[in-house]
């Protein structure tokens, strides 16, 4: 075999001109050239095979399963819709990597009016070779310098200008302004950039350069810029095709087909990165030995094999390799090679374009060759032109096969047999080779006969599209800032929480002493947690939480068995007359007794009544005021046990023996205390919130006696009603308070408990909508409706296992039409509100356990807290946030939280049992 040194081929690799082994070498020049050209012909079958194979790779990548080699990457961009055309403002675009060694800076004005265009200002800078191959920092510094020079003469001034970064290399994008370079392609190979966020690198460089007032808000691939900048014609343009230095396309895919996104609605723009397509079965048969040589000598051997047959960076080089070969074989240039033919990169795309142009006569080709320092013979021009045509035709055909694969994909995913679609085209190859588009078009018609494709040249080389994306990104960034500002008051520092803890401690002490305090610190007359010797059958009532329940509690040596039934308390009853409410309660008891076969029996009854009561004994409780959603008349200031007894009397037929009235916190503490003697605190975070704990009797001014303990119902829900929480209270808290049935009251409860968190969220959502941040600024009737946003939605929305699309579904069920961006923001609002609630609750618990520790003069206290309440139990993060806050603020207390399983009804029965036991003892 001949030596073919200048092509850099190894012996035995197959020489150009004799491509297929076994074929006889052509004997004369014409045949030799023909043979060379033949290698660049691609058959229809081969193109179809490429189309099919590329489609297969695309679909595989969409499904998230990488093939044996990364065939095509299918990278989701953060562009979810094609432009509306309403975007406006001045934007700076910095383009790197689209057109070879040049960097372009543009200032684009979007008018927001369709068809009204302002010519952009732009400037191109040549990137020196050593910068393209040097350290990354040098490249980005170069870019920042170019930007600075451009801005220096910009009449619009650069204060507050938003910049879109067109960076045309394969990147993993994780946000509109976050993009990690996977690998360099084309002629770039700067160190320390792969694996880095290129937006950050640019921002750092801009800062080093001392350019102020520029905000990099979006990063965009050139294909996306091309697609987005396209003037909407008959329909939107949903494919962007670039054949510049390299080649690639993007298109709008159905989001549900993109496995990595976990999103089931809408479309997302996918950058295919088809340049890396490399299926040997499909590409092998069309690759020539020149392609292999080119690849071998490139900066990235083995990579971007498809791109190297199409991209403008390579077309000149392929032509050079063919010409050098033919010169060596004595066919061209009188058999003389020249420094030009021997040096890589000496023939450029523009030379090929000029020579290939059908209108260029032999004289023109001759002149170009001479300019290149070659010494053409008169007969050379025609051959050279044919070589150029062959190389470019093949490129256009291969590109058509790839585009046909995208069209098949669109037909399939949209289930449309006859697809009508607009493709935006951009890049030097289109601009300089008029034939490229016509070959592409013809081939596409052949390969995708059912598709009606219109090709639309990009505007401003994609710069306008980048400006469009930048406009959208800028809007989103502004929205994010507004969101952050809105939520900032909900994000409490450690110092703020420690201050809450300290204030709570002070309020507890004052309340115990009978001094003015927002904490009432009510004695409960429960002096001990159960000791396990309690026995008997008891009735219990449980009023004040989500459910009203009547229970039968059997306390035996073998444990506690409970049967219960839930009854509803209609709002009209909860807020009607007291008599009506208590009659209703007795009706429910009678019904329960009948169902349980207990009619006629007079069992001792414990009444969990979850409202603030001043107690004088176990079976006496004067309702101080209603809280939560209750407002029945003529009850405040009355003994609730009497009200119940009167209702029983009115009902005549029943006999009931009301023994004890118990707050739900106390019931919960007792119920958990039955299992764990260390349980000396009861915490409720449900409809309302409250805490009780075992206090030293000597500290309780209103009860006689200095020894022993008594359970104190703190009624901490009212903490801050004296204005002490005003520093923390936000505009939204004030709105929720004002709209409630007890304005000015239960201020701590209104920041924490289930009855209010949904309302706080709703008020924040209303505010964000009025700022235009959410729901496209459109207020809906639904969102204006009180209590429409239930606290259980917070628990659902914040659940880790929930994808954003489910969040969206929950909100859509509420009649709120929203985008993914909206869904994410609503999630963040929920998180901020529930986190503050949990932390405030934790600060309160820290105050309580620290007080117990100090009461007992202990270095370290080990204690359990019995907890109940729907919010605490259902919310995915509430309990751990409470615990974390307590650890932080009460480091000397080891606190275990026990969730009450049976509600506080069981606790009420236990209190009753203790009372009966003690009563029996006194009788004896």
Residues forming contacts to ligand BG6 in the complex (CB under 6 A) are: 542, 544-546, 608, 610, 664, 668, 684, 686-687, 754, 868-870, 900, 903-905
Question: What is the nearest approach in angstroms of ligand BG6 to the Cβ of residue 538?
Answer: 15
77 near ligand GLC, judged by CB under 6 A: no
Residue labelled with tokens 């990597």: 97
Choose among 607, 610, 605, 606: nearest CA to 692: 610
> Taking contact as CB under 6 A, which single stretch among the options 156-164, 166-174, 354-362, 701-709 is the one that binds ligand GLC?
166-174
In this chain, which residue has its C-beta nearest to ligand BG6?
Answer: 686
Question: What is the nearest approach in angstroms of ligand BG6 to the Cβ of residue 869?
Answer: 4
| Residue 376 binding result from ligand BG6, ligand GLC, none, given CB thresholds of 5 to 8 Å by partner type | none
Of 51, 346, 458, 627, the one binding ligand GLC by CB under 6 A: 627
| Residue 635 binding result from ligand GLC, ligand BG6, none, given CB thresholds of 5 to 8 Å by partner type | none
Residue labelled with tokens 């159960």: 530
518 near ligand GLC, judged by CB under 6 A: no
Find all residues with CB under 8 Å of 785, minimum gap 6, and list them.
none
Active site residue 645: no
Which of left, alpha, beta for 262 (phi over 0: left; psi -120 to 50: alpha)? left
| Residue 717 binding result from ligand BG6, ligand GLC, none, given CB thresholds of 5 to 8 Å by partner type | ligand GLC
Among 90, 664, 737, 822, the active-site one is 664
The length of the chain is: 924
Residue 228's alpha-carbon distances to 32, 107, 272, in angstroms, are: 46, 16, 16
Regarding beta strands 171-175 and 247-254, do their DSSP bridges make them parallel or antiparallel, or are they unpaired?
Answer: unpaired
Q: How far apart are CA 225 and CA 235, in angstroms?
A: 18
Phi, psi of 110 (to 5 degrees): -100, 130
| Residue 291 binding result from ligand GLC, ligand BG6, none, given CB thresholds of 5 to 8 Å by partner type | none
Question: What is the nearest approach in angstroms of ligand BG6 to the Cβ of residue 837?
Answer: 13
Q: How far apart are CA 689 and CA 683, in angstroms?
A: 7
> Taking contact as CB under 6 A, which single stretch among the options 147-155, 386-394, 401-409, 604-612 is the one that binds ligand GLC?
604-612
Choose among 778, 786, 770: nearest CA to 738: 786
Question: What is the nearest approach in angstroms of ligand BG6 to the Cβ of residue 658?
Answer: 17
> Taking contact as CB under 6 A, which single stretch among the options 241-249, 333-341, 430-438, 548-556 is the one that binds ligand GLC?
241-249
Question: What is the nearest approach in angstroms of ligand GLC to the Cβ of residue 243?
Answer: 8
Q: How far apart are CA 625 and CA 640, in angstroms?
A: 11
| Residue 715 binding result from ligand GLC, ligand BG6, none, given CB thresholds of 5 to 8 Å by partner type | ligand GLC
CA angle 484, 490, 491 (to 5 degrees): 80
686 near ligand GLC, judged by CB under 6 A: yes
Q: How far apart are CA 488 and CA 449, in angstroms?
A: 57
185 near ligand GLC, judged by CB under 6 A: yes
Residue labelled with tokens 């009355």: 638
Among 53, 518, 610, 753, the active-site one is 610
| Residue 612 binding result from ligand BG6, ligand GLC, none, given CB thresholds of 5 to 8 Å by partner type | ligand GLC
Please check whether residue 331 is in contact with residue 344, taking contact to mean a CB–CB distance below 8 angstroms.
no
CB atoms within 10 A of CB 437: 18
Active site residue 610: yes
| Residue 169 binding result from ligand BG6, ligand GLC, none, given CB thresholds of 5 to 8 Å by partner type | ligand GLC
Tokens matching residue 604: 């001792």
Please check whether residue 644 is in contact with residue 500, taking contact to mean a CB–CB distance below 8 angstroms.
no
Phi, psi of 671 (to 5 degrees): -65, -45
Question: What is the nearest approach in angstroms of ligand BG6 to the Cβ of residue 544?
Answer: 5
Site map 713..752 versus ligand GLC, x via CB under 6 A: --x-x-------------------------------x---
Active site residue 244: no
**Binding to ligand GLC, residues 272-291 (CB under 6 A):** 273, 275
Regarding beta strands 451-457 and 75-76, do their DSSP bridges make them parallel or antiparallel, or are they unpaired?
Answer: unpaired
CA angle 246, 250, 256 (to 5 degrees): 150
Choose among 586, 647, 642: nearest CA to 616: 642
Question: What is the nearest approach in angstroms of ligand BG6 to the Cβ of residue 466?
Answer: 52
Residues annotated as catalytic are 549, 610, 664
Q: Which residues bind ligand GLC (CB under 6 A)?
A: 98, 168-170, 185-186, 221-223, 242, 244-248, 273, 275, 307, 544-545, 610-612, 627-628, 663-665, 684, 686-690, 715, 717, 749
């Amino acid at each position: 075999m001949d030596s073919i040194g200048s092509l850099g081929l190894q012996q035995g690799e197959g020489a150009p001109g004799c491509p297929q082994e076994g074929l006889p070498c052509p004997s004369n020049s014409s045949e030799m050239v023909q043979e060379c050209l033949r290698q660049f012909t691609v058959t229809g079958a081969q193109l179809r095979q490429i189309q099919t194979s590329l489609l297969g790779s695309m679909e595989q990548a969409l499904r998230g399963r990488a093939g044996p080699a990364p065939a095509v990457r299918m990278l989701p961009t953060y562009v979810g819709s094609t432009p509306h055309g309403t975007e406006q403002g001045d934007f700076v675009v910095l383009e790197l990597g689209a057109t070879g060694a040049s960097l372009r800076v543009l200032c684009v004005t979007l008018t927001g009016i369709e068809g009204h265009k302002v010519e952009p200002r732009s400037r191109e800078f040549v990137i020196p070779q050593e910068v393209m191959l040097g350290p990354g920092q040098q490249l980005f510094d170069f870019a920042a310098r170019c930007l600075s020079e451009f801005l220096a003469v910009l009449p619009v001034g650069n204060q507050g200008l938003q910049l879109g970064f067109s960076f045309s290399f394969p990147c993993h994008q994780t946000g509109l302004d976050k993009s990690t370079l996977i690998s360099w392609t084309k002629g770039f190979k700067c160190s320390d950039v792969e694996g880095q966020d290129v937006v950050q690198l640019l921002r750092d460089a801009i800062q080093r350069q001392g350019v102020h007032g520029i905000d990099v808000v979006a990063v965009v691939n050139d294909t996306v810029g091309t697609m987005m900048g396209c003037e909407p014609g008959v329909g939107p343009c949903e494919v962007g095709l670039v054949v510049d230095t390299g080649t690639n396309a993007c298109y709008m895919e159905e989001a549900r087909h993109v496995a990595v996104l976990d999103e089931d609605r809408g479309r997302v723009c996918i950058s295919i990165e088809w340049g890396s397509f490399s299926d040997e079965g499909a590409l092998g048969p069309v690759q020539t030995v020149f392609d292999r040589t080119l690849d071998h000598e490139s900066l990235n051997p083995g990579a971007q094999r498809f791109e190297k047959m199409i991209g403008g960076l390579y077309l000149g080089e392929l032509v050079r390799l063919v010409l050098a070969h033919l010169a060596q074989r004595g066919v061209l240039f009188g058999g003389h090679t020249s420094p030009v033919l021997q040096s890589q990169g000496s023939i450029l795309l523009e030379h090929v374009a000029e020579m290939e142009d059908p209108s260029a006569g032999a004289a023109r080709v001759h002149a170009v060759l001479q300019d290149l320092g070659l010494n053409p013979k008169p007969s050379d021009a025609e051959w050279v032109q044919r070589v150029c045509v062959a190389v470019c035709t093949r490129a256009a055909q291969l590109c058509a096969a790839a585009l046909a694969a995208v069209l098949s994909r669109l037909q399939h995913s949209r289930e449309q047999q006859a697809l009508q679609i607009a493709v935006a085209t951009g890049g030097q190859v289109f601009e300089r080779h008029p034939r490229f588009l016509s070959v592409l078009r013809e081939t596409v018609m052949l390969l995708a006969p059912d598709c009606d494709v219109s090709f639309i040249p990009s505007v401003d080389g994609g710069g306008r599209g980048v400006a469009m994306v930048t406009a959208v990104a800028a809007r989103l960034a502004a929205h994010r800032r507004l969101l952050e500002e809105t939520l900032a008051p909900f994000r409490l520092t450690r110092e703020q929480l420690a201050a809450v803890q300290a204030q709570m401690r002070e309020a507890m002490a004052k309340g115990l002493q009978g001094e003015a305090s927002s904490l009432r610190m009510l004695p409960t007359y429960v002096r001990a947690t159960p000791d396990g010797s309690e026995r008997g059958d008891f009735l219990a009532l449980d009023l004040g939480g989500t459910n009203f329940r009547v229970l039968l509690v059997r306390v035996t040596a073998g444990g506690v068995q409970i049967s219960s039934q839930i009854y509803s308390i209609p709002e009209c009853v909860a807020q009607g007359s007291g008599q009506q409410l208590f009659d209703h309660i007795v009706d429910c008891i009678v019904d329960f007794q009948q169902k349980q076969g207990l009619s006629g029996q007079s069992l001792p009854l414990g009444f969990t009544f979850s409202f603030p009561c001043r107690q004088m004994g176990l079976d006496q409780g004067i309702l101080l005021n209603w809280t939560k959603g209750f407002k029945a008349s003529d009850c405040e200031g009355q003994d609730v046990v009497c009200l119940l007894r009167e209702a029983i009397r009115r009902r005549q037929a029943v006999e009931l023996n009301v023994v004890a009235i118990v707050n739900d916190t106390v019931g919960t503490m007792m119920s958990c205390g039955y299992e764990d003697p260390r349980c000396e605190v009861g915490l409720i975070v449900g409809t309302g919130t409250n805490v009780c704990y075992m206090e030293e009797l000597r500290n309780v001014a209103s009860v006689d006696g200095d020894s022993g303990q008594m359970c104190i119902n703190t009624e901490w829900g009212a903490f801050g009603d004296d204005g002490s929480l005003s520093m923390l209270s936000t505009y939204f808290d004030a709105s929720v308070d004002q709209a409630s049935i007890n304005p000015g009251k239960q201020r701590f409860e209104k920041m924490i408990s289930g009855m209010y968190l949904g309302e706080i969220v709703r008020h924040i959502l209303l505010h964000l909508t009025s700022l235009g941040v959410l729901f496209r600024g459109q207020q809906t009737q639904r969102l204006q409706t009180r209590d429409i946003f239930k606290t259980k939605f917070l628990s659902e929305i914040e659940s880790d296992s929930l994808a954003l699309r489910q969040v969206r579904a929950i909100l859509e069920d509420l009649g709120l039409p929203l985008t993914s961006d909206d869904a994410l923001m609503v999630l963040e609002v929920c998180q901020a509100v529930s986190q503050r609630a949990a932390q405030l609750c934790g600060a309160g618990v820290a105050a309580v356990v620290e007080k117990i520790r100090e009461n007992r003069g202990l270095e370290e206290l080990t204690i359990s807290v019995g907890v109940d309440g729907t919010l605490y139990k259902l919310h995915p993060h509430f309990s751990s946030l409470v615990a974390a806050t307590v650890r932080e603020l009460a480091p000397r207390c080891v606190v275990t939280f026990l969730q009450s399983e049976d509600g506080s009804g069981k606790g009420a029965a236990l209190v009753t049992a203790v009372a009966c036991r003690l009563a029996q003892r006194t009788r004896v």
